[in-house]
Structure 1
Amino acid sequence: MLVSIITPSYNQVAFLEKTIRSVLEQDYPEIEYIVVDGSSTDGSVDVIKKYENRLAWWVSEKDRGQTDAINKGFARARGEIIAWLNSDDTYEPGAVREAVEYLKSHPEVGLVYGHVKFIDARDQVIGDFPSAQTSYAKLRQGYVHMGQQAAFFRNDLWKKVGPLDPSFYFAMDYDLWVRLAREAPIVYHPRHWANFRLHGDAKTVAADDRCWPEMLRVHRREGGSWFSVIYAKYWVRKLAAPLINWRRRKLFERKP
């Protein structure tokens, strides 16, 4: 069963090689790896060329951002199972094999996701992503609890509900999870599959305030009420955001 993995990248030379190696060093042999670079100027292309003989396809050209890059990669994906791994995140050894084994043995499941740990710029574990089982109904109320880095889903479902909506800057993955969960069960498999890197240039830290308004757009599109749990969560998060982001910065700025 072929697995297609897409890495969108733009000026992440400090972390890109670790991302690439975490994919290429998986113990699952049937991986189609695609890297879509947005015309980086920091040496990223040299890193990609170092591994180009092991890539199914790569390109470095101007695009309309991360979402456009992911869509471009998935348009070329031939795998029955697909995923994307951003250029500052990493897989754990065995992640792809375990995801394939799960989806093979549970044909009714459309997407499986594992546990994610937070790491800093030095690859040190600094916390745990709050992974937990969710569902279409829970997702609509903002109960996400699934790390994109550890999500693997079926290509036939992607073809049914994709592509990613380029009007989303931050919550394009949440929007996709909602659409996928509407069509098939999604399952949390509590195995450590990926690492989510927090650093000064990461979107999660630099533009976190754009996430919840985009999630509310999805909620309203799905017929959600203005008087709902997700709106309450939005206001709580908005009030708590300065503290949350301060704590995140302290985590990745921590001295070794």
Structure 2
Amino acid sequence: MTSTRFSIITPNYNGERFLEQTLQSVISQTGSTIELEYIVIDGGSTDGSQEILQYYQENIAHTVIEPDTGPANAINKGLQQATGDVIAWLNADDLYYPRTLERVAQALQARPDAAFCFGRCPIINEQGQEIRSGITRCKEFFYPFSSRFTYQCINYLSQPALFFRRQAVEQAGLLPEDMVAAWDYDFILRLWHSGDAVQVAGSPLAAFRWHEESISGQNFQVQFKEEYLSVKKDAGSFSLQTLFHFFVRWGIVGSYSAMAQIRKKQQG
């Protein structure tokens, strides 16, 4: 297998709690066929994040520490610096599993027509234990039917386990910074215009950490509204995909709201 250069971007702001585990999961991916350009964009953290970054500075190609307007703005700064053949971002509370980049490189080399690839991505809690496995299985149900049409109907891809070809990123453009929570979904919708997505079969590539302070934990109603508006823009207001997404949106919001009420009762 020929060598592949990866640019991985980690946006961080006061993410000391999980940051070191995230950094280690990325740094450990290097190998004989994997060249890693690791870019960390810190929004001026006031916790212990900068001390952690200092400790790992030899393993980080570019570290930017300056105020930003949010994660989309931070990731855009990283995208503008990235020089890799394959680009991705991993938030400061998520993680990669061993050999993830090697497996991604193999999948993309086998499918030169694919614009990006995806894989399995369980949801974990603060302690790293898998939770909400039903949601994960529901997303994985759509993997065999993966297409731009399917993705317009329902967001079944988990961002930490997505990897994009450089050319597709350049064609899609930067992330929208005027969105609260669905800027990644909007961006991925645009990636589909550059080609298909290929699945990396087998064990999970990454883990998404859900906690009360995470974006999806705080803003899920806004997130699904923004996703619906993105589909209207991409597929058309009166398309079948937009209609289907409308009903999916309210079903998911209802389920998440019910789970939130259950957590409040348990905590109370």
What displacement does 1:232 show? 1.2
Q: Which residue of 1 aligns with 2:230?
A: 218
**C-alpha RMSD of matched pairs (Å):** 2.0
Q: Is the 8 A contact 1:205 1:249 kept in 2?
A: no
Alpha-carbon shift at residue 173 of structure 1 (Å)? 1.1
**Pairing partner for 1:199 from 200, 211, 226:** 211
Contact map agreement 1:81 1:155 (CA 8 A) in 2: yes
Deviation at 1:249, TM superposition (A): 8.0
Aligned partner of 1:122 in structure 2 is: 127
Which of 230, 233, 239 lines up with 2:248 in the alignment? 233
Q: List per-residue Cα deviations over 1:4-47 (Å, max 9, x = no partner).
A: 00000011101000000000011434010000011000110110
* Paired-residue identity, %: 31
Equivalent residue, structure 2, for 1:162: 173
CA distance in 2, matches of 1:248, 1:125: 17
* 2:22 paired with 1:19: yes
* Secondary structure in 1 matching 2:63: strand
Using the alignment, how far apart are the partners of 1:244 and 1:186 within structure 2?
Answer: 31
Q: CA deviation at 1:127?
A: 4.2
Unpaired segments of 5 or more residues in structure 2?
Answer: none
* Contact 1:27-1:93 within 8 A present in 2 as well: no
Q: Give secondary structure in 1 for the equivalent of 2:121.
A: strand
Worse-matched range after superposition: 131-140 or 108-117: 131-140
Q: What's the TM-score once normalised by structure 1's chain length?
A: 0.92
Query: In structure 2, what is the Cα distance between the partners aligned to 1:24 and 1:249?
Result: 38
Give yes or no for contact 1:70–1:84 (8 Å, CA) kept in 2.
yes
Aligned partners of 2:151 and 2:176: how far apart in 1?
A: 17
Q: Provide the C-alpha distance between the structure 2 equivalents of 1:241 and 1:179, rounded to a whole number of angstroms.
A: 27
Q: How does 1:1-256 map to 2 (within 5 A)?
A: 1-28=4-31, 29-128=34-133, 129=136, 130-131=139-140, 132-133=142-143, 134-141=146-153, 143-191=154-202, 192-222=204-234, 223-225=236-238, 228-246=243-261
Asked if the contact 2:40/2:78 (under 8 Å) is kept, the reply is yes
- Which range is displaced more, 26-35 or 192-201? 26-35
Aligned residue for 1:35, secondary structure, equals strand
The AA in structure 2 aligned to 1:225 is: F
Q: Which moved more, 1:72-81 or 1:162-171?
A: 162-171
Distance 1:26 1:248 in 2: 36
Q: 3-state SS of the aligned residue for 1:59? A: strand
One-letter code of the match for 2:111?
A: H
Which structure features the higher share of helix residues?
A: 2
5+ long unaligned stretches in structure 1: none
Runs of 4+ in 1 over 3 A off after TM superposition: 244-251
- Normalised TM-score (structure 2): 0.88
Is contact 1:67-1:166 (8 Å) kept?
yes
- SS in structure 1 of the partner of residue 206 of structure 2: strand
Secondary structure of the residue aligned to 1:30 is strand
Which shows bigger deviation, 24-33 or 165-174?
24-33
Give the length in aligned residue pairs: 251
Could you tell me how far apart the structure 2 residues matched to 1:15 and 1:108 are? 36
CA drift at 1:248:
7.4
Distance 1:169 1:54, change over 3 A: same
Which whole-Å CA distance do the structure 2 matches of 1:6 and 1:198 have between them?
Answer: 19
Asked whether the 8 Å contact 2:30–2:36 carries over to 1, the reply is: no
